[in-house]
Amino acid sequence: MTLPLPKVEDFYVPTARALRALGGSASIEEIQDWLTESEGLTQEQLDQVYPTSGAQIIPDRMSWARSYLKIAGLVESGGRGIWVLTDDGRQAVDTLNDAALRRLVMDAGNAHNAMLVAHKKAKQAAALASPGKKPTEGLVYEGSSGTDDSGWTETLLQVLRTMDPAAFERLAQRLLRESGFVKVEVTGKSGDGGIDGSGVLRMNLISFQVLFQCKRYQGSVGAGTVRDFRGAMQGRADKGLIITTANFTSDARKEATRDGAPSIDLIDGDALCELLKEKELGVRVRPVVTEEVTILPEFFDEI
């Protein structure tokens, strides 16, 4: 008898408590391992995949849980697959019971989704009012350098996941060119072991032939994908690169750097968003200057 799979919201509280138990920060792999053990997930549950994409369902739902915790301001993405419990998150875990903590995250997620719907309706209304004018404004998120709990990455990932596959490949091509690659080509071929394109990375006096793969996933990319890609690139390139809107399982990351095998670099959804932000591709960054005003009562006393 197959056990039912936990829903996304079932991972809200355990994920927050996992970060608390792991010292306030942890890698995706550490969080997944902690949740697997604490929730008593079976291998049969972990192996279940979406029929269409073939992505594993459980890691995908764990990923969405982290995203909603981030929207609620309880966690932050520290980059390189590291997640951090915020001060608000630590206080919530320490003071709220499971039901209250879950409700806090769900309310924040509902408010965020309502904001996205309202923005979409506003854009549609603007388009109807000015049929000849193409909207240029996007969602604006305020944040400070080095931290981001505003949810802009989740919104951007939603946009990327709805792109046409060919358009997503062209975006990857543009990003690689902006990052120093030359002779970047998109093959557009099927049945080529998952290879979507190639390019040359020049570093000072040496160059590397690189094959890349683009995966527009919502779930997690497993070790099998990395192995298949390495097999396809064998003897054809110096390095491999997998770009995805999802994340990579711990086994996938281990496979990518396995001893004795050509290394494959992995760019997950968070890293992809940061690269697009850095290159300002589809993301406009406007520094916001703030000022501090101090009232000096003694000045008025001396007038």
Structure confidence at residue 287 as a pLDDT band (50, 70, 90): confident
Residue 114: phi and psi, rounded to 5, are -65, -40
What pLDDT, on a 0 to 100 scale, did the predictor assign at position 146? Answer: 37
| Residue 215 bridge partners (DSSP) | 244
1-150 and 160-279 share one fold: no
CA neighbor of 277 nearest in space, from 188, 145, 180, 130 = 145
**104-136: per-residue pLDDT in tens?**
999 988 888 888 787 777 777 776 776 655 544
Domain residue ranges in the chain? 1-150, 160-279
What pLDDT, on a 0 to 100 scale, did the predictor assign at position 79? Answer: 60
The answer, yes or no, to whether residue 35 has pLDDT greater than 60, is yes
Q: How far does Cα 5 stand from its chain's mean position?
A: 22
**158-181: per-residue pLDDT in tens?**
888 888 888 888 888 888 888 888
Which residues does 297 contact at the CB level (< 8 Å), separation at least 6? none
The answer, yes or no, to whether residue 205 has pLDDT greater than 70, is yes
Q: What is the pTM of this model?
A: 0.54
**9-22: per-residue pLDDT in tens?**
999 999 999 999 98
Dihedral sign, Cα of residue 54, residue 261, residue 170, residue 154: positive
Report the topology of domain 1-150: Arc Repressor Mutant, subunit A (1.10.10)
Please say whether the structural domain 160-279 has been given the CATH code 3.40.50.2300. Answer: no
